[in-house]
């Protein structure tokens, strides 16, 4: 249930890029994952900003989807 259509398991700490050109390269970090949704925080200058909820089934490489940028580092949960 917490797996993208491309088979990527969504976990806390991952960094994802919003591919929608209207979002101008927005990058978000996953803060929490539950029930097929990811709570993501917009990253601005390395700091967490506003949060958004994203349906995990939308997290795939399409023109309005998402692309995984970075897995969490070993020190993160």
Q: Decide: residue 22, CB within 10 A, 0-12 exposed, 13-18 middle, 19+ buried.
A: exposed
pLDDT tens digits, 23-63:
888 999 999 999 999 999 998 777 788 999 999 999 999 99
Between the two ends of the chain, the Cα-to-Cα distance in Å is 19
Average pLDDT (16-22) is 93
Locus of tokens 């940028």: 69
pLDDT at 57: 94
Rounded to two decimals, the pTM is 0.86
| Strand order through the sheet with 66-70 | 47-55, 37-44, 27-34, 15-18, 66-70
């Amino acid at each position: 249930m917490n797996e993208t259509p491309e088979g990527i398991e969504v976990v806390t700490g991952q960094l994802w890029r919003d591919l929608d050109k209207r979002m101008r390269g927005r990058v978000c970090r996953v803060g929490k994952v539950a029930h097929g949704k990811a709570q993501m925080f917009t990253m601005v200058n390395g700091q967490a900003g506003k949060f958004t909820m994203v349906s995990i089934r939308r997290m795939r490489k399409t023109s309005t989807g998402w692309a995984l940028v970075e897995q969490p580092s070993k020190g993160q949960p």
